[in-house]
Each structure stands twice: as structure tokens, then as C-alpha cells.
A and B are shown apart, each in its own frame.
Chain A
Amino acid sequence: MTRQNSELQRPEVSAPEPWSFPQAQRSELANGLGVLTYDIPGQYVISVRLAVPMPLDREPPEREGIATIMARTLDEGTARHTAEEFAELLERKGIALGAGVSDAGLIVDLDVSKRHLSEALDLLSQAVREPAFHAKEVSRHVKTRLAEIDQERAVPGQRAALEFIATYFDPRERASRPTAGTKAGVSAILPQDLVAFHAANVAPDGATVVLAGDLGDLDVVAQVERALGSWSGAGPEVVGPREAARSQDAARVVFLDRPGSVQTEFYIGCPGPDRHVEGGWAPYQVAGFVVGGSPSARIDAVLREDKGFTYGIRSGFRPRRRGGLFLTSGSVRADSTVEALGLLMDILDKARDGFTQEETQAGVDFIGKTAPGRYATADTVAEEAAGLALDGLTTEFTTTNLLALAGIDAARLATAYDRFVDGQWTVIIVGDASLYAEGVSGLGRGEVTVLPA
């Protein structure tokens, strides 16, 4: 074996082939249900997403969490089948059916191999139109959610996220409390509440069903019509979403005491834009990547690769329907807490001074050139389309946003970052306060409130 070729020249990278986000076929059923289909050859599992606009602030204040419990019990028995029968009908066809809610609405997701699509749509229809909300199933899911709340409180990252929304948002805002509800609200939910909430909110008019996958030789719209065409009704009109108000004292440090923690969790945030922001959303994807999107990003270059304090800390802009957040989270070795937090806050603040052209271009290239792979599967296409539908957008947004990357330079990136990142940070720390709260106080980042975790 010779090694004469072992010093080959580093290959040049040639420009990527043109690519565009898959094209949707759009139609609308007579009942107002929008139908979006994406034919993606070779994707043998069909991904179906039903997106129903249902802003979370429609939940009755004393029953917060009801949207989530409703989503989780849609398939736990219907007018025609018990919960066990329904589960069996799904399993025998290899159907994965789930549902979840966000601040914007309900998304029911269904994955099924192509040959069982028709049966799957029928079962989807039964779940969304005729859920039974049997008392036994409801009380079981209430109990499961209560157990889940205890679990969430015990996991440092989740504990930090919960404290963040409680600290950042005005307490009158629904956004200040967990999407899936607190113990008080969830405990109060009864079957009749679910029946009423479902009847008032889950309707075809204004909802969108997305189907993505290898749809060749299928008449998908006819199949959807057969399953969902006779569904009727309209939910309340979704009127002008507004931005959830930030708490007046959002900018502060809360240290949740978790004695004996071998790591300290950070969850840090400030305002960010939504997708409709003037100047476009794309710069914020790039900025998030440059600051904290990879092991070579600004944060990990220091905290991971130089200092070895962390396995990785991530930053990103998270849009809501209106307004958004810029969030940074991750954990560090306990005894590095004070130094790590100081370095991290300095990095976040210093980014307001601007970015280099080189790092800007690296971010633009990463976001743009990874798109063909990120949107290569039925699942990711359907997910994107359904999420955007709840924001009143189509995947034209995705395409336009990717094209807009070409116009981003360091100056535009700096303007975008500085426009929202105001240096008024909400800082949540979960760790051993007896050892590190005083040191954190000494960083001069504001008063530190210590609370039990």
C-alpha cells in the first residue's frame, strides 16, 4: 500500500443544484376545510396533518389545559368504538395517530403507509368529529397529566422553561402558564367540559388538512372528501392575534435552588420577532445560528470548545403568532456556574455590536443549503405546512424566506438582532443556590431572586 496520494489537495465545493420547496396542490371542500397536498415520490409513508386554529386563550381560565386533554382524548373512544377498539383499529393498519396544541391551535398528526391511507382518513375523521370523552378515559388522562407535571418539575431544563414563561410574560397572559395546563386547571376538567370545548372549537371551516408523500396514482382529494366532506361547522373566527405582554419586571435573575445539582441549567431570553416581521424572518434564523446554533457558533466556541464547561448551549429565535422570543438554553458544570454565566451574557450582549461578514455568510449558507435535506421527507413537509397554516401562511412563505437569505449581509444581520435584543434579559438558573447564588449576584446582572425548585 503506498501513500503517494495521501496529500490530495482540499477539494473545492461547487455551487449547489437548484432546488425548491415542494409545490402544493390546493383545494377547499364545501365545508370550508382547506386541502393541501404535496406529492413527493419515494415517500411511502404518507404524513397527514390536520391544523385547526384554536388560540389557547379560548380555554376557560379555570380549566387551563383543556385543549391538551382534548387533544389527548380524541382517539380514546368515539361514537362508534370504545377506546380499546379504536386503538386496535389503528394498530392493525400500522397507523400512528397523535394530537397536540400550541398557542395557535390544534394539530392532529397521522402517519400511515400508502396502502392504508383510506382507512386512516376514516379513523382520523371519527376521532376529530365524534370523540366520546368517556369519563374513565378523561380521568385517566387528567391523572397522567398531573403525573407529567411532577416529572416536568423534576427535569432541570423543563423546570427552567416553566419558570421562564412565568417570569417573562405578564401573569394575566395565558402564555405565562404551561400550554398543557397547571395542576389546578387540569384537575378541574370533566367530560362535559371537553364535549363543550370540542363542539365550540373543532370545526372544518378555516381548518387545513395537509397530505404529503408518494401520492401518485391516488385521488387524495376524493379520499379526503369521502372522509371529511360531510363534517360541518365553524369555530369562532380567529381575530387579530395580539402579542402577549411582557411582564413589567421580566428583566431579572431567578435562581431555582436544586441542592446537590452537578450541573447548572440556564434559560435566558428576551423579545424576538414573529414570522411577519418587517425586513423578513430569515435574518433571525441566521442570527440564531451564528450566536448559538452549532459547536462552532459564538457560544460554544467559548463555553464548550475553549472552556469545556458544557456539552452544548443553543440559541434561537422562536416565533409565536404575534411577537416571539430569543432564547438561549443549556447546562454547565456546577462549579463553573458563575464564570459560565458571565461569559454567556457577555456573548449575547456583544452580538449587539454586530457580526463579521464571514460568520454571516456561514449562517446564510447553512440555513439555505441545508433546506433540501431538511425538507426532504413527507413528515417534515407536512409539519412545515401545518405549522404555517396556523399562522395564516402557506409554504410560499418557506420558499420566499429561503430566497430572502441571498440579501442578508453583516449590516442587515446586526440591524435585525439589535432591533429585538434589548439587553433586558430574563435569566432563569436551576442549580445549587447555596453554592452559587451569591457569585451570580456578584456579576452585577441585577438582583437575584432565589426560589425552591
Chain B
Amino acid sequence: MPLDYKIAEHTLANGLRVIVSEDHSVPNVTVNLWVNVGSRHEVAGRTGFAHLFEHLMFQGSRNVASGEHFSALMAAGGRLNATTWFDRTNYFETIPRGAMDLALWMEADRHGHLLDAVNQENLDNQRDVVKEEKRQRYDNLPYGNALIDVYAAIFPKGHPYHHATIGSMEDLDCASVQDVHDFFRSHYGPNNTVLTLVGDLSPDEGFAAAERYFGPLPATAAPRRGPVEPLAALSEPVRDEHLEDVPSDRLHLAFRLPVDDTPEFFAASLAMDIIGGLATSRLYQRLVRREQIATSISAHAMGFVDGTSLGFAAIDVADGFTADAAEAAACEEMVRFATQGPTEIEMESAMAQTERSWLSSLASQEERADHICHHATLQGDAGYINTFLDRLGEVSAAEVQQAAARWLMPSSRAVVAYLKQDGDAQ
């Protein structure tokens, strides 16, 4: 089913790529900016910095007071936030059309003139806030650090994806005002940013507004390095076990995958769905439904741009069974899948579920803007949202099998196990 969301694109003289997707269904505009910097660009001793920096973008800039980005836009009917991930940092707000100029003015102020407002006090404050974010989302939860362990097990030390975006407490403690200045000067600037506007406006209106507010900013960002070399699948299994006060055993079986936005990655991602993502997946049918060794299964493929992506299945082991039994059954299924490949029905199911979830994710202006910016920034393709399903549909069952045989064999797995301590964990 071909999609035809409108996409218009224009690049300002300073390098800012501007994409407008006109949609008058609601009198709103989503302003979405992606900066091509993420935790993969962090240097040793400064993990977590890209994310801490993102927090500082809300603490004021040349003409905007600390906290005003939230307060002024929310009072105008804005919903907004920002996130940082391995590959990139994004900033976004959805506002009534009449507040679009204010939003763009505020964005240009912080993307161009942040450093006027950065000081030791707001750095210290947001460092504390980020440390609480880390404690809340990772350190104070059962299994909270499991994915951080997965990244470390799959990617070698020094690799851009070896450390998690949240970073370490020690490195957060080391961050200085000088680091903020250096990071801004290296990575921020219109020539390393994509701006997408989705909603109640025409392309010409969007391009003119972008020129008005962002046109005066100089192209300050340093050139990007090239992508790092792809990694082959792990040559032997890696194991990382934790004996902890957790309610039940949980296993993560993780694998290196091909770089994002390639037919091979699409094939590997369909394989992950069929092995562990669908309600009819191989692992769910056997471990959860038939043998009841596990109470839940999930599987994900995370596409990355620096040479190598990540796939993993998470297995919650049922009471009365061992993690070893669950792992052995899962490994057997993965070998079987890599040997036999998917059935026609499995291919049909994985495609149908991807289509529905893709269409759902394009249903709101804000998510649509984020997808557009994502692929324009990282793959250069502003029209990705319209072509993705067709490209996925071109992947054959044989390619899915080949991807599984190359990337998803148990001999290439990294296992992160959180095992329940003996005795009553309560």
C-alpha cells in the first residue's frame, strides 16, 4: 500500500535542512529538530554527556530564561520534550499554528546562542536531575541495568555503542562548563541539524519561517566523522550473569545485526519478529504457550548507523523452571529457524503487524515529524515514511533465513542473565 504523506524539502544557505509536511487535519504544527549527535560521539570519561547537554537546552539561552522553554510553550498550548539516544538528539514541540513562530524563535535562540546562559549553577542542577533520572529508570529497579549490560556485552570496549546513553555517575560528576562549551561548538549548528515542520502550514510558509529564525545562524558544527566499520557476528557466545534480588529469572539473548536502513537489516528485523516479537512467534509458541517454561517473551531490533545494529530477545523464566532450560529451548528454536527459514504465514504475519504499527506511528503529527527527521538526519532520506513498507515488502523469506543464519545463531549470542538469589527474594 503506497503512502503519500506530502514531503517538501529545502536547505538553507547555512546548511539547515528544512522539511515541511503539510497536513491541515488539526490546527497545529509540530516543530521537530534532530541534531546529528548522540552518545556514540562521546569521548572516554564523558559518557552521558550528550544527554546532560540536552537537559541544559531547557535552562535558558541568550533571550530565553531558564525553564521558560517549557513554561512559555506550554502556556501557548504546547506539548514538548527532547530525547537523546545513541545516534542522535531530538527536540520537539507541538503547538497551535499561532505559536509556531514563538517556538521557532525559541529553538533558534537555544540552538544558536545557548552558551550565553550556561553557568555552573544550572549545570550542577541538571547534573543532579540527570542522576535522579538514572536512579529512577535504571539503578532503583529490578533488572534496571540489564540493557546497559547488553550493550557492553555486544559491543567491544571503545565502540560507540559499548556504553549506554545515560552514562556513568563518575563521568557525569566530571562534566564541566568548559565541556558544555566544547560540545556545543563541535556538534550544534544548522549544518548538523534537520528541522521538520508537520501540520497546518504550506511548504513556503515553513521555509520562510525557518529562514527568518534560523537563517542568521552560522554553520558552526564541525564535520561529522565517517561511520565506524561494521562488526561481524560474535565468534563465540558471551555471558554476563548477575545474581540479584529479582522476583524471577530474566534472560536477554542479544545479537549483533547489520547496519540500519539496509535490506539485510530489514530481513534481520523481520527474523526477530518471527522468532520472538509476534504473539505467534517461535519462542512464544514453544516457551510460553506449549511448554510454559517462560511467562513472557519480547524481541526487538534496534537499528543503528555506526556499522552495527542490535537485536535481542528477553525471556522471563516461569517459576519451577531453570534459566538454563529456557535458554536451551530458545537456542534450539533459533537454530531451527535459521535452518528452515520462515513459513509463508509467518512472513505474512510479520509484514501485516509491521504495517499496522507503522501506520499507527504515523497517525499523529508529532510522531510523523519525528520519523521524517530521523531518516532525513541519519539516512538522508526525507521520504522514508512513504517508502518503508514497500521496501520491507521486497524482503524475501530466503533473505530472512539468510539473515538469521548469519546473525542470529546461538553461537553468536551474548547472554545477560539476571538470576534470582537463593532464598526468599521478597
Contact = CB atoms under 8 A, between A and B. Distances in A.
Contact of A366 (B75, B245, B292, B349): B75
B135 A17 contact: no
A31 interface: no
A13 B105 CA distance: 11
A60 interface: no
Contacts of A44: 359, 362-363
Given A87-B280, A143-B318, A4 B216 contact: yes
A294 B69 CA distance: 12
Contacts of A398: none
Interface centre among A13, A83, A374 (most CB of B within 10 A): A13
A144 B128 CA distance: 38
Given A8-B213, A262-B139, A263-B135, A305 B125 contact: yes
Interface in A218-240: none
Interface in A297-339: 301, 304-311, 331-333
B129 A88 contact: no
Given A331-B132, A332-B132, A16 B96 contact: yes
A409 to B, nearest CB: 16
A308 B124 contact: yes
Interface centre among B96, B137, B349 (most CB of A within 10 A): B96
Contacts of B289: 83-84, 140
Interface string B20-31: 000101111000
A19 B98 contact: no
Nearest to A430: B140
Contacts of B1: 113, 115
A2 B216 contact: yes
Interface string B291-313: 01001100000000000000000
A308 B360 CA distance: 37
Contacts of A4: 216
Interface in A44-102: 44-45, 83-84, 87-88, 90-96
Nearest to A95: B356
Contact of B105 (A8, A40, A94, A331): A8
Contact of B26 (A14, A19, A143, A308): A19
Interface stretch (B76-84, B179-187, B322-330): B76-84
Contacts of A90: 279
B77 A366 contact: yes
A155 B345 contact: no
A151 B363 contact: no
B71 interface: yes
Contacts of B345: 88, 92
A111 interface: yes
A16 B98 contact: yes
B363 A379 contact: yes
A261 B27 contact: no
A111 B363 CA distance: 12
A309 B247 contact: no
Nearest to B5: A42
Given A10-B102, A143-B292, A331 B77 contact: no
Nearest to A42: B25
B76 A369 contact: yes
Contact of A263 (B140, B212, B355, B356): B140
A336 B362 CA distance: 42
Contacts of B355: 94, 113
Interface in B322-366: 345, 348-349, 351-357, 359-360, 362-366
A187 B14 CA distance: 66
B140 A94 contact: no
A154 B253 CA distance: 23
A368 interface: yes
Contact of B74 (A8, A331, A362): A362
- For this complex, into which size category does the number of interface residues on chain A fall? 35 or more
Nearest to B292: A140
A112 interface: yes
B248 A6 contact: no
Interface in B83-116: 94, 96-99, 101-102, 104-105, 112-113
A387 interface: no
A308 B128 CA distance: 5
Interface centre among B142, B295, B357 (most CB of A within 10 A): B295
B136 A43 contact: no
B158 interface: no
Contact of A308 (B58, B112, B125, B365): B125
Interface in B126-182: 126-133, 135-137, 139-142
Contacts of B296: 144
B395 interface: no
B370 interface: no
Contacts of B352: 91-94, 116
A248 interface: no
B37 interface: no
A295 B70 contact: yes
Interface in A136-177: 140, 143-144, 146-148, 150-151, 153-156
A17 B140 contact: no
B71 A296 contact: yes
A43 to B, nearest CB: 6
A17 B279 contact: no
B129 A6 contact: no
B77 A370 contact: yes
A188 interface: no
A3 interface: yes
A446 B25 CA distance: 53
Contact of B129 (A8, A310, A368): A310
A165 B151 CA distance: 38
27 contacts: A1-B217, A3-B216, A6-B113, A6-B216, A8-B213, A10-B102, A16-B96, A16-B97, A17-B96, A83-B289, A90-B279, A94-B349, A96-B357, A111-B356, A111-B360, A113-B355, A150-B247, A307-B128, A308-B127, A308-B132, A311-B136, A331-B135, A331-B136, A333-B131, A333-B132, A362-B71, A376-B365
Given A88-B280, A144-B296, A377-B363, 4 more contacts: A14-B98, A154-B246, A154-B425, A295-B67
Q: Which 3 A-B pairs have the closest CB atoms?
A: A369-B77, A308-B128, A94-B352
